[in-house]
Structure 1
């Protein structure tokens, strides 16, 4: 059976030919292939203006990203067989990394499964479906995962805000087995307890795995401040790396309760404390108390979710880093992270340098960090490389 065609406008095929996995609505020849002819999630053959086949995609006529490529071949069917093939390929990478079963198993377009995220927490899989095309085959996704991974449970964490852009409802649902209130994971030799049903995102942030490991190498005998700590990813691993004391700041009481349990699990409760409150306010209060730390970690939520947020977002990052530097000892270390794709690595570096200048200090870059290898980067999709981390020595006072 031949799929219907989605024709691109004249001279708009080059990017797709080079491997970019998205088609934008303003690139479609709507006279030959009106978007009103398609339902969200329909599979189509993407064709150049001249009719040259470019591959198979699923469409959403209501989204700016109106088509997402599944294959460079025409008439590819998004079914359980294709899902299984792609999942096998994705799992092979994670097996090679040696991180199974505690890692990101599927990372969307980078694993040729656009709109699908799967995180593994031992015998529990947490799945996020972000697009109408993948939502249409959600049952097939669950079946394929159960057959391949044999998990005790699968939870659909389809409560991400971006689903609204696809016209999808937000929900959390147990799709297979019984999901416990808490599950455990291992990372860099540490053990963590998280909530797969109520935790942030899918429950954990595996993207910082390597950055947490690197920071712990600098922690021996040091005092550490972990801002936006969640359940203690950076702070607890720093304590296990020999930190003398760790203070974790977060606005969530449930996150700090998880921090306390995780500190106990790893035998570092005597060196890890939590403080609830707005991080900006807490940093101001610590400065007022003349508290100083050898290492400060700032890993905030995205301050820049859209291009139009750029100016305000950069200022928010700069203000946060400025306040972090004001509680750093002379020659202390700052790990400054950003998960905002719209903040480029160059802008992130400039922001950190500018924040230092604001408080009469200067920095030396010791290490650059990025997302872990279970979040592979799609070479034609800059949006797949979102995480930035700079470890800097903040000099002068």
Structure 2
């Protein structure tokens, strides 16, 4: 196995529990750039004390991701089964049925690996060269630990391009086009092969549960609706009407199928979220509850200014569509946007609109997306439930 040596004092973050080593922290020598991306490596500090084992990609800024603090760890099927079973024990404690995010990357000690479970079907995403190189071992370990009917590899995430990997979708075993799940009594048909990311957003489950006290007899608008998660949960809690905005026709078609599954009448509005919100405002439409749950609008730090303005614009028009005393649920999954920044955006837009804002609840990702205490980036989802007077 390769040996990687850090520069003086660059081991402090690893000793505090972090799992990343950046390229400028490594004491590189001749041939460093020629190391095969994804190779396993032992990591040592500047005094040659072992820090653990990880995998390396010399062509990326985040050069090493640690797998174990034991430099003698054998990263084989048995090792992966141990990590998977540890993650499984948590999820089985949390949820009555096998529907959850089973593996959440660094937080479960498996950087670069995401696994969502839909009963006996797994959707797997490997975003790094190191995890991709370990693919046969990972698949064997998942099959050993869970005995799934099928595994869908949704390795079509953009981060793979940064790692020098192709975007591919592969099937192992019997993988259906769709699966059905039950979330608190509401049925959803999930498009595994054509849906966004790994098919469903388990991270918002607990926040969708919070709708119960706000939506009875309400007119509800679900913005960036995808397949209607918020809208259908609102219907299940007694909403009077439910409407969805999304730019994807297939997503809205899937939302309509979910409405049929639940006996709901659903209005779908196809188009850019901001444009459609403005159109509804021009039509003098009003709603009692609006959920603004966009994809990450700040993917890189350099996008922060434009992303903040986009968040501001969306929430500004949403407030204009709310009746006095209406409820705004505003979310962000951009880890570059801090919770306090989102609060400042909401306050500013409320004052601009001459509306009074009351924050009622604060939400984050569910416990099947645990936060690694040494890696703030693993805490990405944030949101506020607000009353706009």
Q: TM-score, normalised by structure 2?
A: 0.98
User: 1:126: Cα distance to partner?
Assistant: 0.4
Q: CA deviation at 1:77?
A: 2.5
Structure 2 counterpart of 1:373, from 355, 367, 370: 367
Q: Which residue of 1 aligns with 2:247?
A: 251
The answer to whether the Cα contact below 8 Å between 1:188 and 1:209 also exists between their aligned partners in 2 is: no
Given that 2:23 and 2:61 are in contact with CA atoms closer than 8 Å, whether structure 1 keeps it comes out as yes
1:287-326 equivalences in 2 (<5 Å): 287-326=281-320
User: 1:187 — aligned with what?
Assistant: 183
Q: Which runs of 5+ in 1 are unaligned?
A: none
Residue number among 336, 344, 347 corresponding to 1:342 in the alignment: 336
| C-alpha separation in 2, matches of 1:100 and 1:93 | 13
Q: What's the counterpart of residue 39 of structure 2?
A: 42
Question: For the Cα contact (< 8 Å) 1:158–1:171, is it kept in 2?
Answer: yes
Cα distance in 1 for residues equivalent to 2:31 and 2:50: 18
Deviation at 1:130, TM superposition (A): 0.5
Task: After the TM superposition, list the runs of 4 or more consecutive aligned residues in structure 1 that deviate by more than 4 angstroms.
Answer: none
Partner of residue 352, structure 2: 358
Q: CA deviation at 1:292?
A: 0.7
1:60-139 correspondence to structure 2 within 5 Å: 60-139=57-136
CA contact (8 A) 1:226 1:235 kept: yes
Q: Report deviation, 1:276.
A: 1.1
Residues 44 and 75 in structure 1, CA contact (< 8 A), matched pair in contact too: no
Which among 137, 153, 157 is matched to residue 154 of structure 2? 157
1:301: Cα distance to partner? 1.1
Number of positions where the alignment pairs a residue of Structure 1 with one of Structure 2: 389
Q: What's the CA shift for 1:99?
A: 4.7
Q: Deviations over 1:147-194 (max 9, x none)?
A: 2212111010000000011111000010x2122221112222211101
Which consecutive unaligned segments of at least 5 residues does structure 2 have? none
Which residue of the partner structure matches residue 280 of structure 2?
Answer: 286
Tell me the equivalent position of 2:15: 17
2: CA distance, partners of 1:177 / 1:129 = 18
Q: Contact 2:104/2:369 (CA < 8 Å) preserved in 1?
A: yes
**In structure 2, do the counterparts of structure 1 residues 69 and 312 end up closer, same or farther at CA, with 3 Å as the change threshold?**
same
Partners of 1:340 and 1:34 in 2: CA distance? 36
Q: Give TM-score scaled by structure 1 length.
A: 0.96
Distance 1:72 1:30 in 2: 21
